[in-house]
């Protein structure tokens, strides 16, 4: 690969992939000379480049671009850096009709800019790059998607080509295999196939409609979540979906978060569809005089919130405009804070472990000290808050990395990213310290000195967004949920209509014993019904015919193990109960 690059490092692999994106842009310009170039960065596990093209790109085009890239790689051009005057660069790119490059140059304040050349191609770029195009060993163009210039839907829609690059053909093949497996696990496809949820164009983008099976799955998760919180001393509350704009002005959301909020007029006054639950929870806390003896108070709610997201970033249930937060707010004294943070960390690990997640990456999201105007509170407040979160993580023996600039405006936070069955990271739990809202709302308690003190407040969500968490679960399990979580645990399949009465009796008995069961009453062949139940990933299929009706049994089939033979119905019911207890 050359002495100037080490692909075992993040910097090395980023340079390698960014260089591959330049080669792709060069190939596109050879094939489509009128193409106008936008940007082409390296991203996680690959790269992309945005193009303004008159022709709509298809998979056939990607194949042609790949072949042209292979030629450029064989030509083995050196990547050469050149510094030129900013105004000269603007003139050059303007003369070429590269309006997006001109736009980028006009945003720069430096007197000079850098270009990178390889062969006949040159591009505006800070770099760095690898030494030569011939050092690129394995790559693949993956897809084409639409992307607005600068991410703004008011701007021109561009065509974005995604690709990936690896050090060897073997690594590329392994990655492509992983991508194919990810497609099979895609929650959007499985959500439709398993009849869990859908999104309807006529209803608007980013809004989830739960079908009966999906609603059952959601209720199972919510019931478990509520039980766990009640055991931990939380109190369940519920607040309205809208509130007067004055509430959000007081909280600071109107100042710091306005671009993500939906507003509406009610009798000539402005209301807001709640983007957060915290101001409402504070109002309930303030509804009574609180003593230090009452603290900590822990309020929890599965609260649906609404946030404006640009259509270009919406993605199934992972990025939506209306979602349910498993929200909770802890009101405590400064002395109680470390224990409360540690208690939340324990609850996170217990709940996520229940759903089969054992591996995590943890970030401590801190403020950017260079942008104090973006945050509420003093530097001393922030130092103290970040120190408390850091100490709790160390006390629990959890490794983490500190990332500046990722905090919310009202305080630092702990972000927990879980790893799924494919090793992919998903943003999930968040624990946020807040020294801002208690002061804004004068949320106080009477201390043991009989004086009023502002309460310390912790925001936390364990699933984060229930929609995103369920999307993650679908992909983690590939739709084959464990028995305790499966919306349909068993399906009764009569061999023919002659045994419909016995099938109904089995169905009724299972329902009476708490088994989530369906009965396939269609006049179809038994083999077809079994195949469809398998595709629906139902854990157990109970086939009933003449022998089963005579003996009071069922012919049991397992999703995982196939034919299990005849079994008395009461034994199957106990089997289900035992399997659920053991999960």
Question: Please, are residues 86 and 110 in contact by the beta-carbon 8 Å criterion?
Answer: yes
Q: Is 172 exposed, middle or buried (0-12, 13-18, 19+ CB in 10 A)?
A: middle
Distance of CA 282 to the CA centre of its chain: 28
* HSE-up of residue 340 (Cα within 13 Å, Cβ side): 25
Is 413 assigned a catalytic role?
yes
Instruction: Spot the catalytic one: 125, 278, 428, 519.
Output: 278
Instruction: Spot the catalytic one: 187, 229, 281, 307.
Output: 307
**DSSP 8-class letter at 77:** P
Question: Please, are residues 39 and 49 in contact by the beta-carbon 8 Å criterion?
Answer: yes
Contacting residues for 348 by C-beta, under 8 A, at least 6 apart: 416, 429, 431, 462
Is 325 assigned a catalytic role?
yes
Q: Which of 135, 158, 157, 132 is nearest to 40 (CA)?
A: 158
Q: Which of 453, 415, 448 is nearest to 435 (CA)?
A: 453
**H runs (alpha helix) in 414-519:** 437-440, 466-477, 500-512
**DSSP 8-class letter at 555:** E
* Residue/partner pairs of 400-406 with CB below 8 Å, 24 or more apart: 400/362, 400/363, 400/364, 401/362, 401/363, 401/364, 402/363, 402/364, 402/366, 403/363, 403/364, 403/365, 403/366, 404/366, 404/367, 404/368, 404/369, 405/366, 405/367, 405/368, 405/371, 406/363, 406/365, 406/366
Contacting residues for 362 by C-beta, under 8 A, at least 6 apart: 393, 398, 399, 400, 401, 414, 415, 416, 417
DSSP result, 300-313: EEEEEEE----GGG
**DSSP 8-class letter at 581:** H
Whether the bond into 364 is cis, omega within 30 of 0: no
Distance of CA 571 to the CA centre of its chain: 41
- Residue entry with tokens 């990655």: 175
Instruction: Spot the catalytic one: 52, 118, 123, 327.
Output: 327
User: 451: helix, coil or strand?
Assistant: coil
Q: Which of 261, 73, 251, 36 is nearest to 159 (CA)?
A: 36
Instruction: Spot the catalytic one: 413, 460, 468, 557.
Output: 413
In the numeric block, which tokens belong to residue 376?
């509420």
For residues 28 and 62, give the distance between their C-alpha atoms in angstroms, rounded to a whole number. 9
- Which regions of 388-435 does DSSP assign to beta strands (E)? 401-404, 413-419, 425-434
Is 307 assigned a catalytic role?
yes
Is 327 assigned a catalytic role?
yes
Instruction: Spot the catalytic one: 459, 460, 529, 557.
Output: 459
Instruction: Spot the catalytic one: 325, 432, 489, 536.
Output: 325
Instruction: Spot the catalytic one: 77, 329, 367, 516.
Output: 329
Is 260 assigned a catalytic role?
no
Is 290 assigned a catalytic role?
no
Is 522 assigned a catalytic role?
no
Indicate which residues carry an active-site annotation.
278, 307, 325, 327, 329, 413, 459
């Amino acid at each position: 690969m050359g002495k100037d690059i080490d692909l075992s490092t993040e910097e090395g692999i980023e340079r390698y992939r960014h260089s591959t994106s330049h080669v792709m842009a060069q190939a596109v310009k050879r094939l489509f000379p009128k193409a106008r170039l936008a940007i082409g960065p390296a991203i996680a596990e690959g790269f992309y480049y945005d193009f303004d093209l008159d022709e709509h790109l298809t998979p056939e085009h990607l194949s042609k671009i790949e072949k042209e890239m292979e030629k450029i790689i064989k030509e083995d051009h050196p990547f050469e850096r050149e510094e030129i005057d900013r105004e000269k660069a603007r003139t050059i790119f303007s003369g070429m009709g590269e309006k997006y490059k001109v736009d980028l140059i006009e945003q720069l304040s430096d007197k000079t800019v850098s270009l990178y050349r390889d062969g006949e191609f040159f591009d505006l770029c800070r770099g760095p790059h690898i030494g030569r195009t011939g050092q690129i060993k394995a790559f693949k163009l993956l897809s084409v998607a639409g992307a607005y210039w600068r991410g703004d839907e008011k701007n021109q829609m561009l065509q974005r080509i995604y690709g990936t690059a690896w050090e060897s053909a073997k690594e590329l093949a392994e990655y492509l295999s992983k991508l194919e497996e990810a497609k099979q696990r895609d929650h959007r496809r499985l959500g439709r196939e398993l009849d869990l949820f859908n999104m309807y164009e006529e209803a608007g983008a980013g809004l989830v409609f739960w079908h009966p099976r999906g609603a059952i799955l959601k209720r199972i998760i919510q019931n478990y979540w509520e039980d766990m919180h009640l055991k931990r001393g939380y109190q369940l509350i519920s607040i309205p979906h809208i509130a007067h704009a004055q509430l959000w002005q007081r909280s600071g959301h109107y100042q710091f978060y306005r671009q993500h909020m939906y507003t509406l007029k009610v009798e000539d006054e402005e209301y807001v569809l709640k983007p957060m639950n915290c101001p409402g929870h504070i109002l309930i806390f303030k509804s009574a005089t609180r003593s230090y003896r009452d603290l900590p108070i822990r309020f929890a709610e599965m609260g649906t919130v609404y946030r404006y997201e640009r259509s270009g970033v919406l993605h199934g249930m992972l990025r939506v405009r209306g979602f349910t937060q498993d929200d909770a707010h802890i009101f405590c004294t400064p002395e109680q804070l470390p224990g409360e943070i540690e208690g939340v960390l324990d609850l996170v690990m217990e709940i996520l472990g229940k759903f089969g997640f054992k591996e995590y990456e943890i970030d401590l999201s801190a403020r950017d000290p260079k942008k104090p105007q973006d945050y509420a509170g003093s530097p001393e407040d922030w130092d103290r808050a970040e120190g408390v979160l850091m100490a709790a993580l160390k006390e629990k023996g959890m490794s983490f990395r500190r990332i500046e600039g990722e905090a919310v405006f009202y305080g630092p936070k702990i972000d927990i990213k879980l790893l799924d069955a494919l090793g992919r990271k998903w943003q999930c739990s968040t624990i946020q310290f807040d020294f801002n809202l208690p002061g804004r709302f004068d949320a106080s308690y009477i201390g043991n000195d009989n004086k009023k003190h502002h309460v310390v407040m912790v925001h936390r969500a364990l699933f984060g967004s229930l929609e995103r968490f369920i999307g993650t679960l679908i992909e983690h399990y590939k739709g084959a949920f464990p028995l305790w979580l499966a919306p349909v645990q068993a399906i009764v399949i009569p061999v023919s209509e002659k045994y419909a009465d016995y099938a109904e009796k089995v169905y009724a008995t299972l329902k009476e014993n708490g088994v989530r069961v369906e009965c396939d009453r269609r006049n179809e062949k038994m083999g077809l019904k079994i195949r469809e139940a398998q595709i629906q990933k139902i854990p157990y299929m109970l086939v009933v015919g003449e022998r089963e009706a005579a003996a009071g049994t069922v012919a049991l089939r397992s999703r995982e193990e196939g034919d299990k033979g005849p079994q008395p119905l009461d034994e199957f019911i106990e089997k289900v109960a035992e399997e659920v207890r053991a999960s």
